[in-house]
Amino acid sequence: MTKLSVNINKIATLRNSRGGDVPNVVQFAKDVQRFGAQGVTIHPRPDERHIRYQDAYDLKPEVYTEYNIEGNPIDSFVQLVLNVKPTQVTLVPDAVDAITSNAGWDTIKHKDFLVEVIKEFKQNGIRTSIFVDPILKQIDGAKETGTDRIELYTEAFAHQYGLGNQDAVKPYAECAKLANELGLGINAGHDLSLDNIQFFKEHIPGLLEVSIGHALVAESLYLGVENVIQMYLHKLK
Binding residues for 3-amino-2-oxopropyl phosphate, by number, are 7, 18, 191, 213-214
Q: Which of 43, 151, 209, 219 is catalytic?
A: 43
CA proximity to 1, closest of 29, 34, 56, 39: 39
**70 in active site:** yes
188 three-class SS:
strand
User: Which residues partner with 118 through β-bridges?
Assistant: none
216 three-class SS:
helix
What is the 3-state composition of the chain as percent helix, strand, coil, each rounded to the nearest 5? 50, 15, 35
Q: Is the peptide bond before 23 cis (omega within 30 degrees of 0)?
A: yes
Q: Which residues are annotated as a binding site for 1-deoxy-D-xylulose 5-phosphate?
A: 45, 50, 100
**203 in active site:** no
**120 in active site:** no
Report the Cα 95 to chain-centroid distance in Å: 17
Q: Which of 66, 151, 190, 219 is catalytic?
A: 190
Q: Are strands 149-153 and 185-189 parallel, antiparallel or unpaired?
A: parallel
Q: Which residues are catalytic?
A: 43, 70, 190
